[in-house]
């Protein structure tokens, strides 16, 4: 399963896969496989990405189009 919001937010902010991979301490290839759904995202990775982008985990997983975190 591809994660369109995960890829979209990265591209909207002009961030390269290798830069996000560095933040997550994984290879660029591993991060690419996260985006395309070849490798499942772990809770740890999802939380890091949500915190980095300031969006909800549900948004990153394409469960909502609203990037706002619920409080």
- 4-60: CATH homologous superfamily? lambda repressor-like DNA-binding domains (1.10.260.40)
CA torsion, ordered 17, 63, 55, 27, to nearest 10 deg: -20
pLDDT digits (tens, 9 = 90+) for 11-48: 999 999 999 999 999 999 999 999 999 999 999 999 99
The structure tokens 């609203």 sit at 66
User: Kindly report the CA angle at 26 between 17 and 29, in degrees rounded to 5?
Assistant: 55
Domain edges within the chain: 4-60
- Give the pLDDT score at 1: 79
**pLDDT confidence bin for 53, thresholds 50/70/90:** very high
Structure tokens at 50: 């949500």
**pLDDT confidence bin for 67, thresholds 50/70/90:** confident
**pLDDT confidence bin for 64, thresholds 50/70/90:** confident
* Helix residue ranges, H only, the chain: 4-12, 17-24, 28-36, 43-53, 57-60
pTM for the structure as a whole: 0.87
Segment holding 8, helix H or strand E? helix 4-12
């Amino acid at each position: 399963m591809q994660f369109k919001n995960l890829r979209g937010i990265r591209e909207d902010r002009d961030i390269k896969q290798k830069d996000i991979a560095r933040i997550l301490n994984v290879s660029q290839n591993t991060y690419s496989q996260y985006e395309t759904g070849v490798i499942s995202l772990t809770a740890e990775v999802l939380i890091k990405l949500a915190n980095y982008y300031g969006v909800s985990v549900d948004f990153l997983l394409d469960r909502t189009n609203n990037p706002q975190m619920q409080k």
